[in-house]
Amino acid sequence: MTADILIRNARPFGGAPVDLVIRDGRFAVPGANRPTLEIDAGGQIALPGLVEAHTHLDKTLVGMDWFENRVGPTRNDRILADRKAKRELGIDARRQSARQAMQTLKYGVLHIRSHVDVDTEIGIANIEGVIATREALRDLVDIQIVAFPQSGMLPRAGTLELMDDAMRAGADIVGGIDPASIERDPVRHLDAIFALSQRHGKPLDIHLHELADLGAFCLELIVERTRALSMQGRVTVSHGYCLGMLEPNRQRALIEALAAERIAVMTVGSPSAPALPLRLMRECGLIVCSGSDGIQGTWEPWGNGDMLERAKYLAQRNGMTNDADLTETARICTFGGAEAIGLDGYGFTEGDFGDLVLVPAQTLAQAVALTPQARTVIRRGRVLARDGILSGDLLHVA
Ligand SMILES: [Zn+2]
């Protein structure tokens, strides 16, 4: 347990200035105790920990030599390049996952959901590597691991059994992938992953890139299964590009159906896919979260994992410029993510975990627009970074 700390003059989520007290790792009412540490936030914006709700920690090349990307344009080109890179570049899932998690810690990313590859070449080695990182860094950042059949599950015999192994080894969530275009059999794929999720009592998170009607059909199948199995609040659809491509009545009906089953939708604001109707999604009460997807890997060369910058991308991708919209994209990268990935004790209420990120900005909208880097990051009352610089004892962690 950590000692009491007092943060003066901070503005939670851009609201009125308050003094925050953290006692035994949780927000508490100010008491008679003299705090052992006092931080004057000087009116900075306080965010609860940023939530990275979708990344691929096992595949980042952060800290490795530059990868000359000669990969073709299709998803299959990328999947093949990805498997080849794993063999030839010696991407160590344990080392790389720790590097990315430590890189994003200084931005204030305190919760990460990572899809981690399971396939018939590597088996569950990447799962084991990221589990090792999850345990090694457990006092710094929460990591959730999705067993993810990146190379396909039904077409590659033995993958479903490996997914089962991954869950038994300690993965937290069952993953899925394009049930029609990659799996060629949406009903069988979805039945298999829902059954796996039921067997292990774990949530589901499904990559769904499928477009227009095909994607909508797969979403309907996901809604039906979520309802039939009473899995409300335990299913996430990642990407869901089709939601940006339907005629208005069908679009609204599908979003309302997802919201009714509390199925969360994760969007990265991809520049190469249709933008999702964020305003309508919000209006219908859909749980929306965001993530970086792969950063600095063979899929994309860029990305730094800063979820405040992601809030800016989301706004840009949706043509949003007003302050209220920027505040909402910040919400997606904080409270939306927390709800989607099922975090308890998230926020600034007494009893919530004493996690916060101080961002030097006048308003939350300005924080999203300018993404200041000089952030102070506190987790469970422990100061992990001051003004953008990781604490000295953390510099050699990864
Ligand atoms: Zn992904």
Q: Residue 3: its pLDDT value, please?
A: 59
Confirm whether 398 is domain-assigned: no
Domain coverage including residue 367: 5-48+347-392
Q: How far is the CA of 238 from the centre of ligand 1 (A)?
A: 7
Q: Residue 1: its pLDDT value, please?
A: 46
Q: Residue 34: its pLDDT value, please?
A: 83
User: The tokens of 95 are what?
Assistant: 């080392």
Specify burial of residue 201 (Cβ count, 10 A radius: 0-12, 13-18, 19+).
exposed
Q: Residue 82: its pLDDT value, please?
A: 83
User: The tokens of 260 are what?
Assistant: 């009714």
Which residue's structure tokens are 């069908």? 250
SS3 127: helix
If asked whether residues 387 and 284 sit together in one domain, one would say no
Q: How far is the CA of 221 from the centre of ligand 1 (A)?
A: 21
Residues of the chain with pLDDT under 70: 1-3
What pTM did the predictor assign? Answer: 0.96
Number of domains making up the chain: 2
If asked whether residues 17 and 99 sit together in one domain, one would say no
If asked whether residues 137 and 9 sit together in one domain, one would say no
Report the CATH number that the domain containing residue 230 is assigned in CATH: 3.20.20.140
Confirm whether 397 is domain-assigned: no
Q: How many CA atoms lie within 13 A of 379 on its CB side?
A: 19
Q: How far is the CA of 14 from the centre of ligand 1 (A)?
A: 31
Instruction: Answer yes or no: are the C-beta atoms of 140 and 171 closer than 8 Å.
Output: no
Q: Residue 86: its pLDDT value, please?
A: 79
Q: How far is the CA of 245 from the centre of ligand 1 (A)?
A: 20
Q: How far is the CA of 392 from the centre of ligand 1 (A)?
A: 32
Residue 379 C-alpha from the chain's centroid: 18
Q: What is the C-alpha separation between 316 and 336, in angstroms, rounded?
A: 18
If asked whether residues 161 and 36 sit together in one domain, one would say no
Find the helix packing angle between 248-260 and 212-228, rounded to 10°: 30
Q: Residue 78: its pLDDT value, please?
A: 87
Report the CATH number that the domain containing residue 358 is assigned in CATH: 2.30.40.10
Find the helix packing angle between 159-169 and 125-136, rounded to 10°: 20
Confirm whether 184 is domain-assigned: yes
If asked whether residues 359 and 328 sit together in one domain, one would say no
Q: How far is the CA of 390 from the centre of ligand 1 (A)?
A: 28
Q: How far is the CA of 268 from the centre of ligand 1 (A)?
A: 9
Q: How far is the CA of 292 from the centre of ligand 1 (A)?
A: 8
Q: How far is the CA of 143 from the centre of ligand 1 (A)?
A: 15
If asked whether residues 333 and 234 sit together in one domain, one would say yes
Q: Residue 208: its pLDDT value, please?
A: 98
Q: How far is the CA of 358 from the centre of ligand 1 (A)?
A: 29
Q: What is the C-alpha separation between 314 and 108, in angstroms, rounded?
A: 18
